Amino acid sequence: MSQRKITALLFNQYFIVALSLFGVQSLAQADSARGFVRVAVATNFVTTLKNLSKDFESFDEGKILISGGSTGKLYAQIRQGAPYDIFMAADQKRPQLLERHEFTIPNSRFTYASGALVLWRPNNTKRSATNTEENQVKQSLQIRQWLEGASSIALANPRLAPYGFAAQEVLQNLKITKSQKQVTGENIGQTFSLVATGNATLGFVAAAQMLEQNQQTDNYLIIPRKLYSPILQDAVLLKFGATNKAAARFMQYLASSRAQEIIHKAGFARAAFKTN
């Protein structure tokens, strides 16, 4: 291929990419002008965000557009130019990385919630002796018994989902061998579905999912916090949302006591504090 043809090909590819980016930016600007806020949110928080959005929109003209997925995949999309205004992760690592690579508005990151992990076994026929973290020795023993008696265990992908990483820590800390079949979901939502459909005997899911689905306390065990690292969930305002006033207002609302009460009732710990 001649140098002229190579140059022309490279120019065409550059033009296509530039045109695509221009289209994405124009779409984001149009949404911002209409008061739309594009939020990329971790799967475990989608339902809670819907409740928060409803409350926010009851007194603010802004409109929240929700895109849910695993934290890892949403992070990759943002790095590739996805036009989100706000990123609500299920960890602190990815928002911090976005800060480091200058994808965010400086000093906008804060922890909006702290997640809790549970072990869910649907239709449990034996009543749990305890379902609190007060007696952690008995709780850890019962968790071990459930895990060792299971033919398959579901957990979210540890590389993509913080809840999956936490589940992996629990298995390691309890020294559970891999003799049982481990079934992996891409995110905590898929993990829940694996257990609900019987494709896994039990699984590690979010406490918020148990409350959302009105699960009986006999069917799940709260994992003692000492068995896994804290699941601190950070939100950050992205550069796409720099001029979106509705996005800035929603970030302020998210850290308010009004929003934190909704978050707490959904099964998360209150944790709105600056982490910069």
Domain chopping of the chain, boundaries:
3-114+231-274, 117-222
pLDDT (average), residues 190-197: 95
If one compares 29 and 195, the residue with the highest pLDDT of the two is 195
Q: Residue 269: what pLDDT?
A: 80
Structure letter (DSSP) for residue 189: H
Among 29-38, 178-187, 266-275, top mean pLDDT goes to: 178-187
Q: What 3-state DSSP class applies to 240?
A: helix
Contacts of residue 141, Cβ cutoff 8 Å, sequence gap at least 6: none
Burial group, residue 90, by CB count within 10 angstroms (0-12, 13-18, 19+): buried
139 band by pLDDT with thresholds 50, 70 and 90: confident
Per-position b or e across 48-84, b if 16+ CB within 10 A of its CB:
bbeebbeebeeeeebebebebbbbbbbbebbeeebbb
**How much is the pLDDT for 181?**
86
For 196, list phi and psi in degrees, rounded to 5. -60, -35
The reply to whether domains 3-114+231-274 and 117-222 share a CATH topology is: yes
204 DSSP β-pair partners: 119
**Class (C level, CATH) for 117-222:** alpha beta
**Per-residue DSSP letter, 43:** G
Q: What is the pLDDT of residue 1?
A: 55
Superfamily for the 3-114+231-274 domain? Periplasmic binding protein-like II (3.40.190.10)
- pLDDT at site 15: 43
- The pLDDT of residue 140 is 85
Beta-sheet strand order (sheet of 63-69): 63-69, 36-42, 86-88, 231-237, 110-115, 269-274
- CA–CA dist 60, 214 (Å, integer): 30
- What burial class does residue 215 get, using C-beta atoms within 10 Å of its C-beta: 0-12 exposed, 13-18 middle, 19+ buried? middle
Mean pLDDT (whole number) for 29-57:
88
pLDDT digits (tens, 9 = 90+) for 216-241: 999 999 999 999 999 999 999 999 99
Query: Which one, of 150, 166, 165, 262, lies nearest residue 222 by Cα?
Result: 166
Strand blocks (E) in 165-243: 181-185, 202-206, 220-222, 231-237
Mean pLDDT, the chain, rounded, equals 86
Provide the b/e sequence for 190-208 (b: ≥16 CB within 10 Å).
bbbebbbeeebbbbbbbbb
Per-residue pLDDT at 89 exceeds 70: yes
Q: Which range has the worst mean pLDDT, 38-47, 57-66, 124-133?
A: 124-133
The residue count of the chain comes to: 276
